[in-house]
Chain A
């Protein structure tokens, strides 16, 4: 019996706290939610934490929500944060179509949503979308790829997670250029799940089946590092040229050493900063925002790598 009394007492106390929190809300700082597709990947951790830091620097409260690459979890996150009275959402969607309904929920509740990095396929849902152009970035990489190989030779592609839309945006941009050159022949296309260890194992195996390849295109930089390790062990660094995507610090370093040819530099910090600034301007009364703002992906290769090294 005493246990039950204690429990109800606690519940009562929590209700009071909840009321208290609600009352505080009016006068206190506005709250901004950062909803991120996944925190199991260093790149997205940088995006999430920069966004939260920028929000706090502007004098607001910030809280990060992890959607674990799952639109259903994302939907729960949105419901929870709308219910608990957040004033704006900086949003990195899990899915270009599946996430639209979540944004609309927030819109209906009068909460503005600013998309970062990944877009959604709707123009009237988010307040603004600040996007990294994966497709165009990989078009540029494709051009560099063709130039490096002089338009002929066998190559392989390491895909990211096959259920992830970035995987196919990157692959699509790359192939839109490379497939125009009949001399370039893709002899293997395998998934390594954006994972360094998996990329190394898959590359080890591919090298057994295809010892004559001239290049490997990797859907992110973690896989480029894994491929590099497999090629290093097989003593094929000069023979097989490596291309990555993301602009991770270790890959930039390897470009400096001439071991990796190029990567696409994305700017998570710029996207986070822009999104945070837009939220701030929204609170100040601005209502007109451009629907899509592309943040360019810059090609990093031996020619300009010095400018990217710390």
Chain B
């Protein structure tokens, strides 16, 4: 008992040590890295990935995967912008509904939730592998974004929304507040609630979880729904940051989210990992992105470097597990 506990502690602190080493290395090479402005920039830049990756963590803990988050982000971001700017018309009822900024945000989150629930429904009802179901949603949601925006950005959405993307509250950027709240809520859910334990149980051994009376399908439905909703939160943040919804927003964001989850020590085969680990994983990617640009490393090498870091993280994780 004691040994496994120590091992888990070691694994968790390992990604933290890696983050510190990376920071130290970049700080050594560039004296601009450890300035307050730059560190706030990094935190603000990772906040979108943190939100998406937290949802992805829950999915991966159940041994699932969600490839659709980047497209769901784009669609819900576009819906947020469209609702705020143009409202919504029920032509058959001859009714027009205008939206406040808060209304637009809630509308976007509802859209994300529904798309996520649809993923979950396809996966549980028709027993489609999550990889395939969410791959389909990746193109469906991207296509819906194109249809909704006609391929053209929706811009100039007003100062309230811009504040959410670029403003500061009590000395901390608003997007950082949002991701902080998301992280705290989901650390609590995953550690302290029955729902959270069921997620780990399903990922550990789905059959045993089923036999011990857990309603597996309901949990899965909820988790994919939450992943969609968190992607929508990311979508609102990206839209707010630019004060404009771009139809090609969020391309390949699913890969960054999966990378954060994996670097953070969550096993793709489910049952092992944590939300806090993912946050560290997202921070490692963010610091790496920032450092490579600060040091003006060629864009070609940057892609190689990111891949190498992911590989290293997974290999170290594998070796640890063998020892345990």
Contact = CB atoms under 8 A, between A and B. Distances in A.
Contacts of B246: 195-197, 222
Contacts of B151: 39-42, 45
A188 B296 contact: yes
A22 interface: no
A109 interface: no
B41 to A, nearest CB: 5
A197 B299 contact: no
Contact of A197 (B37, B38, B242, B293): B242
A188 B153 CA distance: 28
A162 B242 CA distance: 23
A201 interface: yes
Interface bin, chain A: 20 to 34
Given A197-B238, A197-B249, A201-B45, A208 B37 contact: yes
B162 to A, nearest CB: 10
Interface residues of B, number: 34
Nearest to A41: B248
B30 interface: yes
A58 to B, nearest CB: 23
A189 B296 contact: yes
B248 A190 contact: no
A200 B151 CA distance: 21
Contacts of B35: 208
Contacts of A188: 293, 296
A250 B156 CA distance: 10
A197 B241 contact: yes
Interface in B260-300: 289-290, 293-296, 298-300
B155 interface: yes
A272 to B, nearest CB: 15
B72 to A, nearest CB: 16
Contacts of B76: none
Contacts of A229: 242
Nearest to B241: A197
B140 interface: no
A187 B153 contact: no
A222 B247 CA distance: 12
B152 interface: yes
B251 interface: yes
A202 interface: yes
Contacts of A195: 246, 248, 251
Nearest to B299: A191
Nearest to B290: A205
Given A162-B299, A190-B296, A196-B242, A205 B38 contact: yes
Contacts of B166: 233
A190 B247 CA distance: 23
A206 interface: yes
Interface in A228-284: 229, 233, 250
A296 interface: no
Interface of A: 39-42, 45, 159, 162, 187-191, 195-197, 200-202, 204-206, 208-209, 222, 226, 229, 233, 250
27 contacts: A39-B146, A39-B151, A41-B248, A42-B151, A42-B152, A42-B247, A45-B150, A45-B152, A162-B300, A188-B296, A189-B299, A190-B293, A191-B299, A191-B302, A197-B241, A200-B242, A204-B41, A205-B38, A205-B293, A205-B294, A208-B32, A208-B35, A208-B38, A208-B41, A209-B32, A209-B295, A209-B296
Given A190-B296, A196-B246, A200-B241, 9 more contacts: A40-B248, A40-B251, A42-B153, A159-B299, A189-B296, A191-B299, A205-B294, A208-B294, A209-B295
Which 3 residue pairs are nearest across A and B when measured between Cβ atoms?
A45-B151, A191-B299, A205-B293
